[in-house]
Amino acid sequence: MKRLIKNGTLLLSEGLVKKDLLFDEDQILKIEEEIQEDCEVIDASGLTVIPGLVDVHVHLREPGYTQKETIHTGTQAAAHGGFTTIFCMPNVIPYPDDIETLKDYTKKLHQDAVVNVYPYACITKEEASKEVVDMKEIKEHFGIRWFSDDGVGVSTSQVMEEAMKTAKENDCMIVAHTEDMAYRKPGACVHESPVNTEKGWLGIPSACESAQLIRDLKLTESIGNAYHACHISAKESVEALSKAKAQGANVSAEVTAHHLLLEDKDVQGPNWKMNPPLRSHEDRMALIEGLESGALDLIANDHAPHTEKEKATSMDKAPFGIVSLETSFPLLYTEFVHRQKRWTLAQLVNWMSTVPARRFGLEKIGALKEGYHADLVLVDLEHESVIDKDAFLSKGKNTPFDGWKVYGSIRETIVHGKTVWKG
Write the CATH number for 274: 3.20.20.140
364 within some domain? no
CA 401, distance to chain mean position in Å, is: 17
Q: What are phi and psi of 367, to 5 degrees?
A: -160, 155
Is 302 among the residues known to form the active site? yes
Q: Cβ-count burial of 94 within 10 angstroms (0-12 exposed, 13-18 middle, 19+ buried)?
A: middle
Question: How many other C-beta atoms are found inside a 10 Å radius of the C-beta of residue 158?
Answer: 10
In whole angstroms, give the CA distance from residue 16 to residue 29: 19
pLDDT at 374: 98
Residue 200 and residue 97 share a domain: yes
Number of domains in the chain: 2
Q: Which of 55, 302, 375, 380 is catalytic?
A: 302
User: Could you give the CA distance from residue 208 to residue 192 in angstroms, rounded to a whole number?
Assistant: 10
**What per-residue confidence (pLDDT) applies to 98?**
97
Domain extent, residue 17, equals: 3-48+375-422
3-state secondary structure the chain: CCEEEECCEEEECCEEEECEEEECCCCEEEEECCCCCCCEEEECCCCEEEECEEEEEECCCCCCCCCCCCHHHHHHHHHHCCEEEEEECCCCCCCCCCHHHHHHHHHHHHHHCCCEEEECECCEHHHCCCCECCHHHHHHHHCCCEEECCCCCCCCHHHHHHHHHHHHHCCCEEEECCCCHHHCCCCCCEECCHHHHCCCCCEECCHHHHHHHHHHHHHHHHHCCEEEECCCCCHHHHHHHHHHHHCCCCEEEEEEHHHHHCCHHHCCCHHHCCCCCCCCHHHHHHHHHHHHHCCCCEEECCECCCCHHHHCCCCCCCCCCCCCCCCHHHHHHHHHHHHCCCCCHHHHHHHHHHHHHHHCCCCCCCCCCCCCCCCEEEEECCCCEECCHHHCCCCCCCCCCCCCEECCEEEEEEECCEEEEEC
φ and ψ of 198, to 5 deg: -60, -25
Residues 339 and 209 in one domain: yes
What per-residue confidence (pLDDT) applies to 298?
A: 98
Query: Of 330, 359, 388, which marks where a domain is finished?
Result: 359
* Same domain assignment for residues 326 and 385: no
The answer to whether position 107 is within a domain reads yes
Last residue of a domain, one of 307, 330, 359: 359
- What pTM did the predictor assign? 0.97
The answer to whether residues 351 and 396 belong to one domain is no
CA torsion sign for 88, 89, 90, 91 is: negative
Per-residue confidence (pLDDT) for residue 209, from 0 to 100:
98
343 assigned to some structural domain: yes
Is residue 68 domain-shared with residue 26, that is, in the same domain? no
Q: Tell me which amino acid residue 423 is.
A: G
Residues 33 and 75 in one domain: no
Residue 130 and residue 93 share a domain: yes
With contact defined as beta carbons under 8 Å apart, do 132 and 122 qualify?
no
Question: Are 15 and 135 in a shared domain?
Answer: no
Domain co-membership, 392 together with 247: no
- Give a yes or no: residue 326 inside a domain: yes
* 198 within 8 A of 173, measured Cβ to Cβ: no
- 11 with 85, same domain: the answer is no
At residue 199, the pLDDT reads: 93
pLDDT, one tens digit for every residue, the chain (423 residues): 999 999 999 999 999 999 999 999 999 999 999 999 999 999 999 999 999 999 999 999 999 999 999 999 999 999 999 999 999 999 999 999 999 999 999 999 999 999 999 999 999 999 999 999 999 999 999 999 999 999 899 999 999 999 999 999 999 999 999 999 999 999 999 999 999 999 999 999 999 999 999 999 999 999 999 999 999 999 999 999 999 999 999 999 999 999 999 999 999 999 999 999 999 999 999 999 999 999 999 999 999 999 999 999 999 999 999 999 999 999 999 999 999 999 999 999 999 999 999 999 999 999 999 999 999 999 999 999 999 999 999 999 999 999 999 999 999 999 999 999 999
